């Protein structure tokens, strides 16, 4: 039984999975929209929402926790300054996953992950 076991393995070792999610969340918070597979997108959503929540807390401990995940000091500064202010009144759900079809090479289901209310958004 796998009761209360959250998070998918994504066919990777734990170190590879952790590194991949750190890279994905850094790219998402920097670009505000990325394309990836459905499974990765669903795992990424959890980590990205947690980083924005840390940014909203805004204290030194939260900044150090975010720096342990986000691979760029510039992106961390963006989370704590720009994104924290943008989502100040929002109680959660900072990301949106939109399915966009299948990848050409291996027919993997693909998704776009984006921040809601992002700058330059048409929705």
pLDDT category at 4 given cuts 50, 70, 90 is confident
pLDDT category at 7 given cuts 50, 70, 90 is confident
pTM: 0.91
* Radius of gyration of the chain, Cα coordinates, nearest whole angstrom: 15
Report which DSSP code applies to 59. Answer: S
Written as six digits, the tokens of 25 are 């969340």
Instruction: Identify the CA nearest to 21 among candidates 70, 67, 64.
Output: 70
Phi, psi of 92 (to 5 degrees): 150, 180
What mean pLDDT is predicted for residues 79-87? Answer: 96
Looking at residue 72, what is its pLDDT?
A: 96
What mean pLDDT is predicted for residues 54-69? Answer: 97
What mean pLDDT is predicted for residues 33-62? Answer: 96
Say if residue 122's pLDDT is above 80. no
What mean pLDDT is predicted for residues 24-29? Answer: 97
Instruction: Kindly report the average pLDDT of the chain as a whole number.
Output: 94
């Amino acid at each position: 039984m796998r009761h209360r076991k959250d998070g998918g393995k994504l066919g990777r070792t734990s170190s590879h999975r952790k590194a991949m999610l750190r890279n994905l969340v850094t790219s998402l918070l920097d670009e505000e929209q990325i394309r990836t597979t459905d499974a990765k997108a669903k795992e990424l959503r959890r980590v990205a929402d947690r980083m924005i929540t840390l940014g909203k807390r805004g204290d030194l401990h939260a900044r150090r926790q975010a720096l342990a995940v986000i691979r760029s000091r510039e992106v961390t500064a963006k989370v704590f300054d720009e994104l924290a202010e943008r989502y100040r009144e929002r109680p959660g759900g900072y990301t949106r996953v939109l399915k966009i079809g299948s990848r050409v090479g291996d027919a993997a289901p693909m998704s776009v992950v984006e921040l809601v209310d992002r700058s330059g958004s048409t929705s």
